[in-house]
Amino acid sequence: MGEIEITDRLQKRVRRDFPDAEVAKGVEGALRSASRRLDPDGRGGAGGERLMAALVIYARGDIRRLRDAVKLAHLDWRDLFVCTDLADEDFEQRLDEELSGPT
């Protein structure tokens, strides 16, 4: 299985929320790991940018909150989407809003 991609816009958000380079690198690893575990076949269920963005949005730059988000996603990833306003049909617009911003 190949490396799970983190989009450029999500990577910018991670680096904005977690400015320490080593911490940001660890966050990116946690995002890939969570995505891999929640969508092992790459079928797009809970995986991909939406899930990883939900984890980052929930965390708000706090590693403890990121860990909580990962735990919540493992219990039921749909709850994570609800908590981050990514559950509705307009989630793509919400992603655009959350992932665009200062570079």
Query: What DSSP assignment string belongs to 19-87?
Result: -SHHHHHHHHHHHHHHHHHHSTT--SSS-HHHHHHHHHHHHTT-HHHHHHHHHHHHHHHHHHHHHTT-S
Q: Can you give the pLDDT at residue 48?
A: 85
Residue for token digits 């989407």?
Answer: 81
pTM across the whole model: 0.89
Contact 35, 47 (CB under 8 A): yes
Phi/psi for 15 (5° steps) reads -70, -25
pLDDT of residue 4: 78
Residue ranges of domains in the chain: 8-98
pLDDT band at 3 (very low <50, low <70, confident <90, very high): low
For 78-99, what is each residue's pLDDT tens digit?
999 999 999 999 999 999 999 9
- The tens digit of pLDDT for each residue in 22-57 reads 999 999 999 999 998 887 555 555 558 999 999 999
Is pLDDT of 68 > 90?
A: yes
* Cα–Cα nearest to 5, from 47, 66, 54: 47
